[in-house]
Amino acid sequence: MNPIAAAVFAAVLVVAIGLFARRAVLIYRLIRMGKPAARFDDIPGRARAEAVVVIGQSKLLQRLLPGLMHAAIFWGFIVLLPTIAIAMIGVVDPHARLPWLGRQGWYAFLVDLFALLVLAGVITAFVIRKVQRPMRFAGSHLREADLILLLIAGIVVSLFLWHASQIALGINEYPAAWAPISSLISWGLHHSWTPYVERAAVWAHVLFILGFLVYLPYSKHLHIFVAAINVFFGRTRARGRLEPINFEAPTDADVRFGAATAADLTWKQMLDTVSCTECGRCQDVCPAYNTGKELSPKLLMMALRDQLLSGASTPLVPNAVTDNVVWDCVTCGACVRECPVGIEHIDHIVDLRRNLVMVESRFPDEAATMLRDVDRAGNPWGKPQSDRAHWADGLGVRVLSAGEAAPDVLFWVGCAPSFDERAKQGAISTAKLLKEAGVDFAILGPRESCTGDPARRMGDEYTFQKQAKQNVGTLNEARVKKIVTTCPHCFNTIGNEYADFGGRYEVVHHTDFLAGLVREGKLKTLAGDRKITYHDSCYLARHNDVREAPRELAAAAGQAVEMPRNRERTFCCGAGGARMWMEERRGKPINEERVREAAGTGAEILAVACPFCTVMLDDGVRTTGAKLQVIDLATLLSEAVERRRTRDSPTSTGGG
């Protein structure tokens, strides 16, 4: 052992750990100051997410090349972790070894292999960043990333050199044959100065590692430490559910409605911001960003993080992000689904909105009508509630009166199908099909009121909760057990959010329910020959995993073709997050973007399963002039049932 080397190393180690700890403690203290968030339930589920998303790199591997690149570096680092100890021992004494593991041939082989994989990963990363240059990096700290990659390259190159020179000097304890790459390099290292190479390499290796350690918490590469923690504390409950504010017995945190300053973020939200690696996958899939709006989920996270770490107590809006950024979001959840480190962007947006709406009273003027009408009239258009069941005139649909118990199925119609001319058709077809299949069902008619979803997504939690409590009261009084609805927003709100207000029901989307009736043979269909492409609603496919039932219906009705962005990677129609009630003043219209994608499939019919999508995409078809008809799947199914009936009994078309 060399006492000077030991002393120098000890001093360097203490400084490095001190610098690291100073920053780590600061970040830890900040996060401890965040508002509470209930994220300690379902530990097994959290462990599973950790195994799949972190160890399995599942989200990263959705994109093959960058995914393999990252997996190579990540898995490589896990395998190489013990070499840090081995090298630190080696710095002090070239002949000392880590007990047991340091002597294992198989481990030496793994180190050789994974160090090579890490190097390949770093080179791939450079190719991606310098040659391919994907747009998702726009706005990220590019130099920071370059420096990190160079450090990683330095770590593995110095590791190879150290191992190779040890082999050349014959001071390796494991058999050299187990380390083919290091052995190969060692052929060029039989010189008188090789002992110096050995010393320089091991020192370089350890200094690179300590430099890396110090730099990480000051850079976006902090994710190496916090991403795994953030994924662990990710949501285990329904993705479509927002955290309620307690107005009845508010805590100090509840009284600060939403997030005004960085200190109003929950600790999970703070953890989100420091986990961001600026990879831009969220930005790549964001409908707002991709149609030229101000919002980029990545830049949002970076701005919130910068303000949090700066310690500023000024309002987040407009200091960190502009008002436009907050209102551009459609809450489609594409960013959340894509994020490899478990950031939940929607929660941030909604908390910023809650503060702007409930405290500052600052939001796009045109949405005020919706909030007022939901509050006063029970629907966003201010239509008379007494007209709510008019869509069902002549269909013989039973309207449940007060005091009556609900039948097997309650058909929750929703505001858009009740009042909007275009959205009505889906409800009419659904009612006809339910009757055809002999389902015992009823509607609430004038006693049904807006679920409050648009108000909630706007940030008006107070109006939402008023609606929620009223509806839960009505549903519980009628002892409702099973609800079928044609609206994915009602579906999400009643199914995922009403439980927080004492409403627990089995909620089924009409596509799911109708597909069940087809499978059971209660509805017999005959597919037509028109090409149909189905547009997934965000609140079905992404927030609630309803993806296959609508496709069964599309296949039963015609010749189904897929759009490039389908299922959980669907592209929003532009109506979510209460955007339905705001003007789209910035960038290109989202609905037109989606209509062009649909038209590109060559389909004649754009099938939908959501009344908002119906209105938005139909508008898009009108403005783009695309040759498409926007039709709800229930209507297409109803036509398929009619087609089958005509084929089976061609003579009885007169009604016999």
Partner 1 sequence: MSALVLMETNDASLQMLTLARKFGEPLRSVPMDAIEPFAPDAIAAVLALAADELGVSAVVAAGTDRGNEVMARLAARTGLPFAANCISAEPGETVRVVRQRWGGSLLETAILRSPRAVITVAPHTVRVTDGPQPKDLDVEPYLGRLAPADRVVQVTDHVAAAGGGVSLAEAKVVVSGGRGVGSKEGFAIIEELAGLLGGAVGCSRVVTSAGWRPHSDQVGQTGTKIAPDMYIACGISGATQHMAGCKGAKRILAINADSEAPIMQNADYAVVGDLKEIVPAISAEIRKTR
What minimum distance in Å lies between the beta carbon of 209 and partner 1? Answer: 50
Alpha-carbon distance of 424 to 415, in angstroms, equals 10
Tell me which of 39, 225, 381, 407 binds partner 1, using CB under 8 A. 381
Q: Is 639 in the site for partner 1 (CB under 8 A)?
A: no
Alpha-carbon distance of 521 to 300, in angstroms, equals 50
Q: Is 363 in the site for partner 1 (CB under 8 A)?
A: no
Q: Is 313 in the site for partner 1 (CB under 8 A)?
A: no
Cα separations in angstroms, 376 against 380, 390, 461: 9, 20, 15
Segment contacting partner 1 by CB under 8 A, of 214-222, 270-278, 324-332, 578-586: 578-586
Instruction: Please report where in the chains the tokens 């997504």 appear, as a residue.
Output: 457
Report the residue number, 158 or 465, with the smaller CB distance to partner 1.
Answer: 465
* Cβ atoms 617, 603 nearer than 8 A: no
Q: What is the DSSP letter of 398?
A: P
Q: How many CB atoms lie within 10 A of CB 429?
A: 23
Interface residues for partner 1 in 593-622 (CB under 8 A)?
Answer: 615, 619, 622
Window 532-551: contact mask with partner 1 (x via CB under 8 A): --------------------
Segment contacting partner 1 by CB under 8 A, of 84-92, 154-162, 285-293, 368-376: 368-376
Identity at 479, one-letter amino acid code: R
Report the residue number, 503 or 611, with the smaller CB distance to partner 1.
Answer: 611
130-135 contacts, C-beta under 8 A, 24 or more apart:
134/280, 134/284, 135/280, 135/283, 135/284
What minimum distance in Å lies between the beta carbon of 570 and partner 1? Answer: 22
Q: Is 288 in the site for partner 1 (CB under 8 A)?
A: no
What minimum distance in Å lies between the beta carbon of 642 and partner 1? Answer: 20
Segment contacting partner 1 by CB under 8 A, of 171-179, 196-204, 360-368, 539-547: 360-368
Instruction: Please report where in the chains the tokens 């294992």 appear, as a residue.
Output: 104
Total of residues contacting partner 1 (CB under 8 A): 27
Interface residues for partner 1 in 406-435 (CB under 8 A)?
Answer: 416, 419-422
Alpha-carbon distance of 370 to 89, in angstroms, equals 68
Cα separations in angstroms, 310 against 99, 224, 258, 262, 320: 45, 21, 20, 10, 11
Cα angle 444, 447, 448; round to 5 = 70
Q: How many CB atoms lie within 10 A of CB 540?
A: 26
Segment contacting partner 1 by CB under 8 A, of 93-101, 134-142, 176-184, 366-374: 366-374
Tell me which of 108, 167, 204, 367 binds partner 1, using CB under 8 A. 367
Report the residue number, 302 or 575, with the smaller CB distance to partner 1.
Answer: 575
Tell me which of 2, 313, 314, 369 binds partner 1, using CB under 8 A. 369
Q: Is 358 in the site for partner 1 (CB under 8 A)?
A: yes
442: left (phi over 0), alpha (psi -120 to 50) or beta: beta
Alpha-carbon distance of 137 to 153, in angstroms, equals 21
Tell me which of 436, 562, 584, 642 binds partner 1, using CB under 8 A. 584
Q: Is 581 in the site for partner 1 (CB under 8 A)?
A: yes
Interface residues for partner 1 in 462-501 (CB under 8 A)?
Answer: 462
* Cβ atoms 236, 275 nearer than 8 A: no
* Cβ atoms 113, 182 nearer than 8 A: no
What residues line the site for partner 1 (CB under 8 A)?
Answer: 358, 361, 366-367, 369-370, 375, 380-383, 416, 419-422, 462, 581-585, 589, 615, 619, 622-623
